[in-house]
Structure 1
Amino acid sequence: MPKKSGNRRAPMWARLCAIFGCVLMVVSGGALIAGQAVLARYAGAVDNQDLFGDASSAGATEKVSDIKGAQNILLVGIDPRTDEQTPLSDSIIVVHIPQSMDQAYIFSVPRDLVVDIPAFDKTGFRGGRSKINAAMGYGSAIGNGKHDPVQGFDLLAKTVQQLTGIDKFDSGAIINFGGFKKIVDAMGGVTMTIDQNVKSEHLQPNGKPRPRLARCADNTCDHPYYGPQAEYKVGTYHLQGWQALDYVRQRYGLPKSDYDRQRHQQQFIKAMAEQALSKDVISNPAKLDKVLKAAGDALTFDGNGNSVVDWGFALKGIRSQNMTLIKLPGQSMIVNGRYQGEALDDSAQEFFAAVKEDRLPDFIFKHPEYINKEG
Structure 2
Amino acid sequence: MVVAGGALVAQQVLVSRYAGAVETQDLFGNAAAAGSEQKVSDIKGPLNILLVGIDPRSDEQTPLSDSIIVAHIPADMKQAYLFSIPRDLVVDIPPFAKTGFKGGRSKINAAMGYGSAVGNGKHDVVQGFDLLAKTVGQLTGIPTFDAGAIINFNGFKAIVEAMGGVTMTIDQNVKSEHLQPNGKPRPRLSRCADNSCAHPYYGPQAEYKKGTYHLQAWQALDYVRQRYGLPRGDYDRQRHQQQFIKAMAKQALSKNVITNPAKLDAVLKAAGKALIFDGNGHSIVDWGFAMKNMRSDDMTLIKLPGNSIIDNGKYRGEELDSSAKDFFAAVRQDQVRNFIFRNPEYINTNS
Instruction: Give the structure-2-normalised TM-score.
Output: 0.97
| Deviation digits for residues 143-167 of structure 1 (CA, Å, limit 9, x no counterpart) | 0000011000000000000000001
Letter in 2 for 1:211: P
Counterpart for residue 341 of structure 1: 317
Q: Quick check: 2:140–2:325 contact (8 Å CA) kept in 1? A: yes
Counterpart for residue 297 of structure 1: 273
Counterpart for residue 314 of structure 1: 290
Counterpart for residue 28 of structure 1: 6
Q: Which runs of 5+ in 2 are unaligned?
A: none
> Which SS does the other structure have where 1:333 is aligned?
strand
Counterpart for residue 148 of structure 1: 124
Counterpart for residue 10 of structure 1: none
| Deviation digits for residues 74-93 of structure 1 (CA, Å, limit 9, x no counterpart) | 00000000000000000000
Q: Quick check: 1:65–1:310 contact (8 Å CA) kept in 2? A: no
| Deviation digits for residues 208-252 of structure 1 (CA, Å, limit 9, x no counterpart) | 111110000111110011111000000000001100000000000
How far has the Cα of 1:54 moved from its partner?
A: 1.1
How far has the Cα of 1:279 moved from its partner?
A: 0.2
Counterpart CA distance in 1 for 2:148 and 2:199 is 33
Superposed counterparts of 1:220-299, under 5 Å: 220-299=196-275
Pairing partner for 1:366 from 327, 342, 346: 342
Q: 1:145 to 1:343 in 2, by over 3 A?
A: same
Report whether the alignment pairs 1:136 with 2:112: yes
How far has the Cα of 1:314 moved from its partner?
A: 0.7
Q: 1:62 to 1:315 in 2, by over 3 A?
A: farther
| Deviation digits for residues 64-110 of structure 1 (CA, Å, limit 9, x no counterpart) | 76101200000000000000000000000000000000100000000
Q: Quick check: 1:276–1:282 contact (8 Å CA) kept in 2? A: yes
Letter in 2 for 1:258: D
Q: Quick check: 2:47–2:72 contact (8 Å CA) kept in 1? A: yes
CA RMSD of aligned residues (A): 1.4
Larger CA deviation: 291-300 vs 64-73: 64-73
Report whether the alignment pairs 1:85 with 2:92: no
> Which SS does the other structure have where 2:65 is aligned?
coil
Counterpart for residue 88 of structure 2: 112
> Which SS does the other structure have where 2:51 is aligned?
strand
Q: Which runs of 5+ in 1 are unaligned?
A: 1-22
How far has the Cα of 1:374 moved from its partner?
A: 2.3
> Which SS does the other structure have where 1:24 is aligned?
coil
Counterpart CA distance in 2 for 1:67 and 1:170 is 9
How far has the Cα of 1:63 moved from its partner?
A: 6.8
Q: Quick check: 2:5–2:291 contact (8 Å CA) kept in 1? A: no
Counterpart CA distance in 1 for 2:40 and 2:197 is 52
Counterpart for residue 70 of structure 2: 94
Instruction: Give the structure-1-normalised TM-score.
Output: 0.91
Counterpart CA distance in 2 for 1:276 and 1:62 is 34
| Deviation digits for residues 239-288 of structure 1 (CA, Å, limit 9, x no counterpart) | 01100000000000000000000000000011000000000000000000
| Deviation digits for residues 304-358 of structure 1 (CA, Å, limit 9, x no counterpart) | 0000000001111211111100000000000100000000000000000000010
Q: Quick check: 1:65–1:306 contact (8 Å CA) kept in 2? A: no
Higher relative contact order (CA 8 A, sep 6+): 1
Counterpart CA distance in 2 for 1:57 and 1:206 is 50
Letter in 1 for 2:44: K
Counterpart for residue 210 of structure 1: 186
Counterpart CA distance in 2 for 1:82 and 1:313 is 34
Counterpart CA distance in 1 for 2:308 and 2:233 is 10
What is the percent sequence identity of the aligned residues?
A: 76
> Which SS does the other structure have where 1:256 is aligned?
coil
Letter in 2 for 1:114: V
Query: Between Structure 1 and Structure 2, how many residues are aligned?
Result: 349
